[in-house]
């Protein structure tokens, strides 16, 4: 009881410390790529909780427990800030995490505001996991930002599993995408929000199914901008002019996993085992 009220860690002041980024699995690589490209002097430690993916079909208590465990591991590695590169973990666990941790925590939430703003048909849709779709913080976000647009929520069970297994180009994955997207297009949406960080890895397939009249919005760029602002505000921006390094850890390390990571990262990488799972 007492322990949960204590801060996990006091503020980090070393600007050469790494940025911690995590997700249930490979999805957060879509955010990490953008961070590495936009903030090239920063070191990054990426943790994939692949042993416990997908989070989208787990209970809130389970998600909170995993988020807290991974945060402790990142803090033990000395990170100066944490990016929760996962919509599901953000909407379900960010508030309780911020209450315990003194370093900046940046979350990822579906980009409803820009989507509603740019929609001409005033009909937009959000693809998300089940645990995001049913979450109150997510519903409040829609109420706050719909700007008069009708917002269709499409949970996508099964989709994360295809991407985790490196089967995002399979006919079965394409059939699942069709099942989720075609009814939205038939209802007249002109904007589609990717509300899960795994989904940018099937963005091409999504845009082929949705057609050229539907624009697709994801969140890597605004999250990176928010991270940049937070680091600057707290005087934590890396001052080195050297290229930053990205290290990859997972709760499930196999040769096949390493290949899937390398394929999505678009260069060979070394996947290291987490000390505690
Ligand atoms: N990539 C995550 C998200 O943004 C989680 C997917 C999952 O594990 O279900 O929601």
Which tens digit of pLDDT belongs to each residue from 150-164? 999 999 999 999 999
pTM beyond cutoff 0.75:
yes
Ligand 1 centre from 128 Cα, in Å?
A: 8
Query: Residue 109: CB partners within 8 Å, gap ≥ 6?
Result: 87, 90, 91, 138, 141, 219
Average pLDDT, the chain: 95
Instruction: Using most ligand atoms within 8 A of CB, pick from 53, 86, 164 the residue to mutate for ligand 1.
Output: 86
CATH number of 2-108+221-273: 3.40.50.1860
Ligand 1 centre from 208 Cα, in Å?
A: 22
Residue 15 pLDDT > 60 = yes
CB 217 within 8 A of CB 115: yes
Q: Which residues are paired to 264 by β-bridges?
A: none
Q: Please say whether the structural domain 112-218 has been given the CATH code 3.40.50.1860.
A: yes
Cα dihedral 30, 42, 269, 58 in deg (nearest 10): -40
Ligand 1 centre from 102 Cα, in Å?
A: 25
Residue 241 pLDDT > 60 = yes
CB 131 within 8 A of CB 67: no
Residue 3 pLDDT > 50 = no
Beta carbon of 86 within 6 Å of any ligand 1 atom: yes
Ligand 1 centre from 163 Cα, in Å?
A: 11
Predicted confidence band at 5 (pLDDT cuts at 50, 70, 90)? very low
Q: Which residues are paired to 19 by β-bridges?
A: 44, 81
Instruction: Using most ligand atoms within 8 A of CB, pick from 52, 83, 111, 129 the residue to mutate for ligand 1.
Output: 129
- Point out the ligand 1 atom lying closest to the alpha carbon of residue 85: 4
- Give the residue, by CA position, lying nearest to ligand 1 atom 8: 54
Beta carbon of 87 within 6 Å of any ligand 1 atom: yes
Residue 53's closest CA among 267, 260, 268, 265?
260
Beta carbon of 198 within 6 Å of any ligand 1 atom: yes
Over residues 69-125, the pLDDT tens digits come to 999 999 999 999 999 999 999 999 999 999 999 999 999 999 999 999 999 999 999
Ligand 1 centre from 130 Cα, in Å?
A: 9
Over residues 208-235, the pLDDT tens digits come to 999 999 999 999 999 999 999 999 999 9
Kindly list the catalytic residues. Answer: 86, 196
Beta carbon of 196 within 6 Å of any ligand 1 atom: yes
Residue 96's closest CA among 143, 129, 63, 128?
63
Query: Residue 140: CB partners within 8 Å, gap ≥ 6?
Result: none
Q: Give the model's pLDDT for residue 20.
A: 98
Residue spans in the chain of domains classed CATH 3.40.50.1860:
2-108+221-273, 112-218
CB 180 within 8 A of CB 128: no
Q: In this structure, what token pair is assigned to residue 80?
A: 């100066």
Q: Give the model's pLDDT for residue 275.
A: 81
Q: Give the model's pLDDT for residue 277.
A: 66
């Amino acid at each position: 009881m007492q322990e949960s009220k204590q801060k996990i860690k006091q503020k980090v002041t070393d600007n050469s410390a790494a940025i911690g980024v995590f997700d249930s699995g490979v999805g957060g690589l879509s955010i990490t790529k953008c961070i590495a490209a936009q903030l090239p002097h920063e070191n990054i430690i990426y943790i994939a909780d692949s042993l416990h993916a997908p989070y989208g079909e787990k209970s809130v208590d389970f998600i909170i427990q995993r988020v807290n465990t991974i945060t402790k591991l990142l803090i033990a590695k000395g990170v100066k800030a944490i990016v929760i590169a996962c919509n599901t973990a953000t909407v379900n666990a960010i508030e309780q995490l911020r209450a315990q941790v003194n370093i900046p925590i940046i979350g990822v939430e579906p980009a409803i505001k820009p989507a509603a703003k740019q929609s001409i048909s005033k009909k937009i849709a959000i693809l998300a996991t089940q645990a995001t779709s049913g979450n109150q913080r997510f519903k409040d976000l829609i109420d706050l930002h719909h700007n008069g647009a009708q917002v269709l929520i499409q949970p996508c069970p099964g989709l994360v599993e295809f991407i985790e297994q490196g089967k995002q180009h399979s006919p079965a994955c394409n059939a699942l995408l069709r099942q989720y997207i075609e009814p939205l297009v038939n209802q007249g949406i002109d904007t589609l929000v990717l509300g899960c960080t795994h989904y940018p890895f099937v963005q091409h397939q999504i845009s082929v199914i949705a057609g050229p009249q539907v624009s697709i919005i994801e969140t890597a760029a605004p999250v990176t901008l928010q991270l940049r602002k937070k680091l600057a505000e707290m005087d934590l921006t890396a001052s080195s002019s050297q290229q930053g390094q990205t290290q990859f850890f997972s709760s499930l390390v196999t040769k096949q996993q390493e290949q899937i990571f390398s394929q999505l990262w678009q260069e060979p990488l070394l996947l290291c085992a987490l000390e505690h799972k």
